[in-house]
Structure 1
Amino acid sequence: MIICCSNAFSQNDALANEYYKNGDFEKALLEYKKLYAQSPSNINYINQLIETQQQLEQYDEVETFLLKLLERLNYPAFLVELGYNYQLKNDLQKATYYYNQALASLDSNVNNVFSVARSFQNHTLLNETIAAYEKAMALKSELNFQLQLAQIYGEQGNMEKMFTSYIDFAKNNQIALSNIKRYINDFISENSTNENNVLLRKILLKNLQQEPNLVWNDLLSWLFIQQKELGKAFIQEKAIFNRQPESLSRIEELAQIAVSDNQNDIAIEILTYIINTAQDTDTLLNAHYNLLQLETKTSSKDDYQTINNQYLDLFKKFGTFGQTLNIQIAYGHFLAFNMNETDKAIAFLEKTLELPITELEQANVKLELGDILVLQEKFNKALIYYTQIQRNLKNSTISQEARFKVAKASYYKGDFKWAESQLKILKASTSQLMANDALDLKLLITDYKYEDSLQTALKLYSKADLLAFQNRNEDAIALLDRVLQEHKTEPIVAQALFKQAQLFEVKKDYIKAEVNYNAIIQNYKDGILIDNAEYALAELYANELNQPEKAKDLYEQIIFNHQDSIYFVEARKKYRALRGDAIN
């Protein structure tokens, strides 16, 4: 019987709500009256009954109902409801009287604030809601409604009070700091001159001057990161570390952000600081590794010998053992791909394989050895290493990576059929990035191998791809020119234009890259590379050619015409940033 009654209540409730939602208030009122009769102390049914009668403009009936209800139930939130009912009748004097009565109820029981403030807020009576929370905090110091107040100030557009409330809450509830940042994020932009950004910075700096607290440094660092002012963020992070020197992890994270944002000078400064400050070997070696990678990326060939000496000095200081494995692999890569000393690189890495390292660590070394052999165009020897990884570490991520490299090596040497068979397996890869790379290469092979029975254009393109892998970019560009000249009527032209544009960007020949991307956009609107070209050109305009309006137009094209593009989310974010919207 209890179950049957419960089901009946639930059905009547759902029916009443459905009537209300559809605007059929007469029928909704009948159902709510039945529910109230069966459960006369149920606050939800009382509120739903009142709202429905107000929708029907039965204000006098609501007034009578609430006055009787207040005689029976000591629930001050009903004073708010009565006041609001008078407000709907345009009797503001009585409305104010009952609002004040509701606020006065806090004097006898401060816990009434929860229901009273909620009722005020439900009717968008924001000033009264603020008054309720502020009075409750004054009456009982351990209550903290700064978070609720901040949200209300935000609704009112009072940015200064909103920011102040948020950071006051963060000061006393540091565990909620990440949530506070997320809330504030809705009101700032990447533009440091944005009015809200300036206001938040001033409030934080004022707090820092009046009362030193690491929360202010943390929030300032976060704000500067949003504004891409990583040098200023670094100053704040050093201040935090000086007060809490247990870990450099925050500064390491900032270094990674600087590297990702291509702010190389500040990244080098931060990594150098870590090297000079770190006490544990892992942190120190990781910083050395990242610094060497960055210096290699940003240096010219004239600097390579200096970088080579830095590697050797590290091995002399720390030794060649498991803890320096990543640096050893990086050195092998540097010798082969930058110094063109492939035999020396292979000998060095083969010696690394003799160290007492795990099977997974061996696989990472073999992966690099395979790549160097592909660089030498010794494809069959490379395949031996890749196959060993697949056999020894089945179904692992590195095994999938090795399979992809098998496919890539086969593609480089023109064995498209075998490459395609490996790529079909990788389409179901657990790594989304790996699956996407595999799909892209498979589409390239599948789409173009049947255009020409001799596969001449595809062979030329794959050879150009190999030259790019070998850092022979001039030769790759020249070979792609040949594809464009000799196969200008074939679909592979778009792919060749795109690859060549990427190589022009590596050479910092941005105008030629722009020409290629525009050629794809204008002539291959229905091709699979249209969103790739639009996004790449937008990035070029935004980051290199200082033409933000053109970048914005291209991001907008992706947003409206390519919702299924892998670039959609980033394009929307960057479009909003260029438009000056809040970050979220």
Structure 2
Amino acid sequence: MKRSILYKILLVSFLVLPSVISGQDAETKYKLAQNYERSGNFEKAENLLNELIEQQPWNYSYFNSLYNIYIKQKKYDEAVGIISQRLTYSPNDPSLYGLMGSVYFMKEMSDSAYFYWDKGIETNPSSISTYRIIANYAIESRALDRALEYLKMGRQLSSDKSIFTLDLANIYSLTLRYKEATLEYCYLLSIKPDQIGLVKTKFNSYSGNKKALDEITETLESYYKENPQPIYLDLIAYCNMLNGNYNAALNFTIEYEKKINGNGASIYSMAQTALRSKAYDAALTGYRYIVDNFPGSNIVPIAKISRVETLRAKLNKNPKNDLWHYAKIIDTVEYKRLSEEYKKIAGEYVNSNIFIQALYSRAEIEFENLRNYRLADSIFTIINLRAPGTEYSAKAFLKRGLIAIYSDNLEQAKTFFDNILLNNKLSADLKAEAYFRKAKIDFWQNYFESALSNLKSASGDLSSAFANDAIELSALISTLKRDSSNLAIYAKSDLFAFQKKYEEAVALLKDLIKRDNLFILKDFALYRLAEVNIYTKSYGEALEYLKELTGKSENGILSDKALLLTAQIYQYGLKDESKAGELYENFLEKYPDSLYLETAIQNLNYIQTKKGKDG
């Protein structure tokens, strides 16, 4: 009995072991062939793979590897040969006919390619997947018209008439047939309206292509006339928006809202988009329409305040920068009107978030544009009382601190800035500004070590709007604090300039630049004199002071900043954008590592874009 069992075990081992060894040998050969292929030794790889296929003609991995090697070497006849060989084992595999057609297409024998692709369809003409498989081979070969035929044939067989719609639209787009592509998307939406988001994403890819968007929009409008469903109005509005036609976009959005009996949400969204793109008139039309036509909608309060914010944005066309903000001519009548509108909105919505937003915007106008500091401070105080701990409250403390500085109450200003720093939930930018403002007060009061400590905190996040100024002031104090008497004079002039006591500031600064052996401090005094002259619109004098700085070595501590300010004078002050553009280009060439590089690039891009539109 035992001998019988042992005999059987030995017999099985002798039968199985050769196949195991053979399998291990095949795997080793296959890995070796792959290594040869990777190293570019295709001949050795071919030989090994042919041996393997002879042993295992059914193995697809060996076949596919050999096929790819032939294609890489453009051995198309050999590729045809191994496909034909494999077809003897799998005569009903559409992929093999797809491959055969692709090889003939590479050989520039399109009729033969079409013959084999058609044969692939014949393997299983009732299966939808067959049409997709063969169409994919045609697409890969860039035989796009043939691919369209196969996809259309497949769609006719399917009960799901939306099948292949996206594939067809993609091919039409690739061949610049935007009308046909758009009709496919419309057909898809007629069956599956929930795909509107996907279709918008597809159209978004045409952003910046005016010709395509014009054809798409025209096709959509024609389609809507025959199929007056609201979803197409939404799509027409979206395409007009992509094309920068915000007035048309808004009109179609209004029509869309009428059709769906909406509450104005789509109109508000489009108005917001127009506002972000600085299409102020379209945005204003949208907000006004909501207020006039949806009196019961919960969107009305935000539409009201957004309308006033848009009017304010139209007035604030100069850069968001204190220097140029105070140099511009203020239209007090318009700003007073805006202040009153904010006051009215705040009165309407006392118990909502709109109340605080309206109060803050009104106080900003009174502070920044009308310079009515007493009224602004009283409104900011209300915000601190009504919305403690909020970002609006922190911003109000910042503004109250600035007002206190203008009133020469530096200690009170510090208290306001400290209130911000006590709130750990505020943004890093707000805290950076609070630290910077405190540092400036320390600087003006000649507490240089304390100033350095606060400046370190202000520059901790280099992305902060105050990081560059903090670094610059820190460098100045660290370098010159031993010459405390001259540094104190400069600090005093800096305070006067901040408080808009320009005559006092100029007197101190001019005294400084006449002194001997000041070097770095003289450069800072020259730069500050230029800024003060910009405040008073004395652009010629400002340029003279900056010329002294830009005429020095490119390695001067303020050389890059002086050149940037010179360009800004031409852009914003003298309105000579051509000269400003030249100076920005000069800046980019001279100072590619400057802290102010991003500002120069943005300003230059603005000038070039505007020039392109005007041209």
Number of the residue aligned with 2:80 = 63
Aligned partner of residue 107 in structure 1, secondary structure: coil
Equivalent residue in structure 2 for 1:152, among 149, 168, 171: 171
Aligned partner of residue 414 in structure 1, secondary structure: helix
Q: What is the rounded CA distance, in whole Å, between the counterparts of 2:181 and 2:547 in structure 1?
A: 46
Q: What is the rounded CA distance, in whole Å, between the counterparts of 1:39 and 1:477 in structure 2?
A: 93
CA displacement at 1:151 relative to structure 2: 2.9
2:216 is the counterpart of 1:200: yes
Deviations 1:344-391 (A, max 9, x none): 333344345444866666545434433433443433212213222322
2:421 is the counterpart of 1:390: yes
CA displacement at 1:97 relative to structure 2: 1.7
Shift in alpha-carbon separation, 1:231–1:56, aligned structure 2, 3 A: closer
Q: Is the 8 A contact 2:305 2:345 kept in 1?
A: no
Number of the residue aligned with 1:237 = 253
Equivalent residue in structure 2 for 1:418, among 429, 450, 458: 450
Shift in alpha-carbon separation, 1:59–1:169, aligned structure 2, 3 A: same
Q: Give the counterpart letter for 1:425 in structure 2.
A: S
Number of the residue aligned with 1:291 = 307
Q: Is the 8 A contact 1:80 1:102 kept in 2?
A: yes
Q: What is the rounded CA distance, in whole Å, between the counterparts of 1:556 and 1:196 in structure 2?
A: 38
Q: What is the rounded CA distance, in whole Å, between the counterparts of 2:119 and 2:466 in structure 1?
A: 69
Number of the residue aligned with 2:412 = 381
TM-score if structure 1 supplies the norm length? 0.74
Number of the residue aligned with 1:139 = 157
2:138 is the counterpart of 1:110: no
Deviates more, 1:531-540 or 1:238-247: 531-540
Q: What is the rounded CA distance, in whole Å, between the counterparts of 2:200 and 2:545 in structure 1?
A: 41
CA displacement at 1:76 relative to structure 2: 0.6
Q: What is the rounded CA distance, in whole Å, between the counterparts of 1:139 and 1:576 in structure 2?
A: 55
Deviates more, 1:369-378 or 1:231-240: 369-378
Number of the residue aligned with 1:438 = 466
Equivalent residue in structure 1 for 2:71, among 54, 67, 79: 54
Q: Give the counterpart letter for 1:343 in structure 2.
A: R
How do residues 36-435 of structure 1 correspond to structure 2 at under 5 angstroms? 46-73=63-90, 74-89=92-107, 91-105=109-123, 107-142=125-160, 143-166=162-185, 168-169=187-188, 172=191, 177-189=196-208, 194-279=210-295, 283-296=299-312, 298=315, 300-319=331-350, 324-355=355-386, 362-363=393-394, 365-391=396-422, 393-394=423-424, 396-398=425-427, 401-411=430-440, 414-415=443-444, 417-429=449-461, 435=463
Q: Is the 8 A contact 2:398 2:416 kept in 1?
A: yes
Q: Is the 8 A contact 2:563 2:583 kept in 1?
A: no
CA displacement at 1:78 relative to structure 2: 0.9
Q: What is the rounded CA distance, in whole Å, between the counterparts of 2:46 and 2:262 in structure 1?
A: 63
Q: Give the counterpart letter for 1:334 in structure 2.
A: I
Q: Give the counterpart letter for 1:310 in structure 2.
A: E
Larger RCO (CA within 8 A; separation ≥ 6): 1
Aligned partner of residue 455 in structure 1, secondary structure: helix
Show structure 2 runs of 5+ residues with no match: 1-21, 316-329
Q: Give the counterpart letter for 1:256 in structure 2.
A: Q
Deviates more, 1:545-554 or 1:367-376: 545-554
Aligned partner of residue 348 in structure 2, secondary structure: helix
Deviates more, 1:129-138 or 1:547-556: 547-556
CA RMSD of aligned residues (A): 5.2
CA displacement at 1:218 relative to structure 2: 3.1
Deviates more, 1:68-77 or 1:283-292: 283-292
Q: Give the counterpart letter for 1:225 in structure 2.
A: M
- Percentage identity across aligned positions? 14
Q: Give the counterpart letter for 2:71 in structure 1.
A: Q
CA displacement at 1:149 relative to structure 2: 2.7
Q: Is the 8 A contact 1:86 1:95 kept in 2?
A: yes
Q: Is the 8 A contact 1:387 1:402 kept in 2?
A: no
Q: Is the 8 A contact 1:531 1:562 kept in 2?
A: no
Shift in alpha-carbon separation, 1:179–1:320, aligned structure 2, 3 A: closer
Shift in alpha-carbon separation, 1:356–1:390, aligned structure 2, 3 A: closer
Q: What is the rounded CA distance, in whole Å, between the counterparts of 2:579 and 2:27 in structure 1?
A: 56
Q: Is the 8 A contact 2:442 2:450 kept in 1?
A: no
CA displacement at 1:528 relative to structure 2: 4.9
For the pair shown, which has the larger CA radius of gyration, 1 or 2? 2
Shift in alpha-carbon separation, 1:130–1:531, aligned structure 2, 3 A: farther
Shift in alpha-carbon separation, 1:510–1:228, aligned structure 2, 3 A: farther
Count of aligned positions? 558
Q: Is the 8 A contact 2:490 2:512 kept in 1?
A: no
Q: Is the 8 A contact 1:379 1:409 kept in 2?
A: no
Q: Is the 8 A contact 2:101 2:115 kept in 1?
A: yes
CA displacement at 1:139 relative to structure 2: 1.8
Q: What is the rounded CA distance, in whole Å, between the counterparts of 1:34 and 1:277 in structure 2?
A: 80
Q: Give the counterpart letter for 1:239 in structure 2.
A: E
Q: Give the counterpart letter for 2:216 in structure 1.
A: L
Q: Is the 8 A contact 1:386 1:403 kept in 2?
A: no
Aligned partner of residue 464 in structure 2, secondary structure: helix
Q: What is the rounded CA distance, in whole Å, between the counterparts of 1:186 and 1:476 in structure 2?
A: 58
Number of the residue aligned with 1:455 = 487
Deviates more, 1:531-540 or 1:20-29: 531-540
Q: Give the counterpart letter for 1:397 in structure 2.
A: L
Deviations 1:48-103 (A, max 9, x none): 42121233454444333222322322321211212233444565543332122123
Q: What is the rounded CA distance, in whole Å, between the counterparts of 2:337 and 2:141 in structure 1?
A: 70
Deviations 1:515-561 (A, max 9, x none): 999999998867555996799799879xx878799699959968x96
Shift in alpha-carbon separation, 1:92–1:323, aligned structure 2, 3 A: closer
Q: Is the 8 A contact 1:517 1:537 kept in 2?
A: no
Q: Give the counterpart letter for 2:175 in structure 1.
A: Q
Q: Give the counterpart letter for 1:383 in structure 2.
A: K
Q: Is the 8 A contact 2:237 2:253 kept in 1?
A: yes
CA displacement at 1:457 relative to structure 2: 8.8
Q: Give the counterpart letter for 1:440 in structure 2.
A: N
Q: Is the 8 A contact 1:117 1:129 kept in 2?
A: yes
Aligned partner of residue 228 in structure 2, secondary structure: coil
Deviations 1:412-461 (A, max 9, x none): 663465344234234444xx7xx332321222213444665433796478
Shift in alpha-carbon separation, 1:363–1:533, aligned structure 2, 3 A: closer
Q: Is the 8 A contact 2:571 2:580 kept in 1?
A: no
Shift in alpha-carbon separation, 1:253–1:417, aligned structure 2, 3 A: farther
Aligned partner of residue 319 in structure 1, secondary structure: coil
